[in-house]
Amino acid sequence: MKKIIATLTAILAMGFSSSFAGTLVINTDLTDPAPKAAFEWAFNKFQEENPDVTIEVNNFDHEGYKQAIRNFLTTSPPDVFNWYAGNRMLPFVRAGLVEDVSDIWSDTGWVDGNLTEGMSHAKKPMTIGGKQWGIPYTYYQWGVYYRKDIFEANGISVPTTWDEFVAACATLKAAGVTPITIGSKYLWTTAGVFDYLNLRTNGYEFHMALTKGEIPYTDPRVHAVFDKWDELVKPGYFLENHASLAWQEAIPPMINGEAAMYVMGNFSVALFKEGGLTNDNLGFFQFPEITPGIPMAEEAPTDTMHIASGAKNKTDAKRFLIFLSRADVQEEMNKTLGQLPVNSGSKVDPDPFLEAGLNMLNNAYAMAQFYDRDAPAEMASEGMKGFQEYMVNPDRRDKILERLEKVRQRVYK
């Protein structure tokens, strides 16, 4: 009997504590080990600092989350959820499902008072219609990962200009090594190449105008990008059969020494190292300059945290977002994530890839989010299909660009 009473009291106590103190409901898709560990640390730390708040986490499968978010935001909104910057959040913002958090950014709702300073460089991708809709907590760089030893064996030094880059490819090809590996089965890898070619040929402003739908795909400047792409595709510098490979499946050729470079995001480093590469034979360099004098913008997809407009506990939700923006929190989380903290007050681990990335992004002219986050979903899907088709059949360029132009006129009307 005593036991039962004790249990009852415990249950009651639990019930009361969760209904009296704030319960913070967080929906996430952190099924991969590193993000999961990083967030578990963050949740514990937040709870430590705010003992009156109880965090309730609903964890979704990464792929399923993309579907689930549409349902839970409309039917049973959580307080906080994670998503992505740029155009990816636009449909939800437009449908009024995301809470405006401009006050955090303008420091009026900000306790420690230095968000504007620490994260101003990341404000643009979080802005729609002059307001901010969330906060970024991590990002990572894109660039070229390469085999140092293969470069050395063939007498190639790290290319900084387009001509050097193409010459390096030619040397590698002649030596029987596939210059660039890629797996385009899921399409998005092709967009990484396109983005960089466009950013380097025409610059950040043009790239943004294109993804915003202001420039026809049949524009001669877009053709100029494909002219550069031709120089890689036509001589066969990309991995054969890339259309049947997932991005991970394109990594073994590089580990085996059959391929030398990969235009990729920093998340690939973990897989390279799992495959046996080390800091001695795996290197990173910035995508080389194409049009001289164009300021170098980089690709840096940002992961973000938002408050649902239907949140029940907006006060604690804001506290959590502020907590997540702090330099010390981002520093610790990104150590686990193996990515870069957005807050410029945070430091990174002494890792050559992270240091290179941080150095590159801190000096970047601007940051693009990635084609499928900058362009609206419909355009991105057709565009990436087109890029893949072009990479297999470079002769169809005109037909593909005309088709993309047709899609552009429909999507942005």
Partner 1 sequence: MGWFSTTPFLNVPNSIQITYRKSSWWKLNQQRLTPWIFLFPGLLLFLVYVIWPIFNSLYISLLQWDGLSPAIYVGLSNYIELLDDEYFYISLMNNLKWLILFMLAVPIGLGLAIFLNQTIFGIRLIKSLFFFPFVISQVVIGIIFSWFYNPRGVIGPFLDKLGLSNYAILADENFATYGIIFAGIYPQIAYCMILYLTGLNNLNTDQIEAGRMDGAKGFSLFKNIILPQLKPATFLAIVVTVIGSLRSFDMVAIMTQGGPYGSTNVLAYYMFETALSEYGYRMGYGSAIAAVLFTIMMFYILFFIYRMYQSEKKGL
Give the residues lining the site for partner 1 (CB under 8 A): 66-67, 70, 73-74, 91-92, 94-95, 97, 184-187, 240-245, 249, 252, 372, 377-378, 380-381, 385-386, 388-389, 392, 403, 410
Please say which residue, 12 or 246, places its beta carbon nearer to partner 1: 246
Minimal distance in Å, beta carbon 383 to partner 1?
Answer: 10
For 257: left if phi > 0, alpha if psi spans -120 to 50, otherwise beta; the answer is left
Please say which residue, 92 or 165, places its beta carbon nearer to partner 1: 92
Please say which residue, 15 or 91, places its beta carbon nearer to partner 1: 91
Written as one letter, the residue type at 44 is N
Using the Cα atoms of residue 215, residue 219, residue 222 and residue 224 in order, give the sign of their dihedral: negative
Minimal distance in Å, beta carbon 147 to partner 1?
Answer: 19
Using the Cα atoms of residue 280, residue 297, residue 235 and residue 240 in order, give the sign of their dihedral: positive
Using the Cα atoms of residue 189, residue 194, residue 197 and residue 198 in order, give the sign of their dihedral: negative
Please say which residue, 185 or 221, places its beta carbon nearer to partner 1: 185
Please say which residue, 70 or 347, places its beta carbon nearer to partner 1: 70
Minimal distance in Å, beta carbon 396 to partner 1?
Answer: 10
Minimal distance in Å, beta carbon 34 to partner 1?
Answer: 22
Q: How far apart are CA 222 and CA 201, in angstroms?
A: 9
CB 401, CB 223: distance < 8 Å: yes
Minimal distance in Å, beta carbon 76 to partner 1?
Answer: 15
Minimal distance in Å, beta carbon 240 to partner 1?
Answer: 5
Please say which residue, 118 or 386, places its beta carbon nearer to partner 1: 386
Residue 248: C-alpha distances to residues 90, 227, 265, 283, 323 (Å): 29, 28, 12, 18, 34
**DSSP letter string, 10-72:** HHHHHHHHHHHSPEEEEEE---SHHHHHHHHHHHHHHHHH-TT-EEEEEE--HHHHHHHHHHH
Q: 88: helix, coil or strand? A: helix
CB 282, CB 70: distance < 8 Å: no
Q: What are phi and psi of 331, to 5 degrees?
A: -60, -50
Minimal distance in Å, beta carbon 73 to partner 1?
Answer: 8
Please say which residue, 79 or 389, places its beta carbon nearer to partner 1: 389
Minimal distance in Å, beta carbon 99 to partner 1?
Answer: 16
DSSP letter for 135, please. Answer: E
The residue among 66, 87, 261 whose CA lies nearest residue 158 is: 261
Please say which residue, 6 or 95, places its beta carbon nearer to partner 1: 95
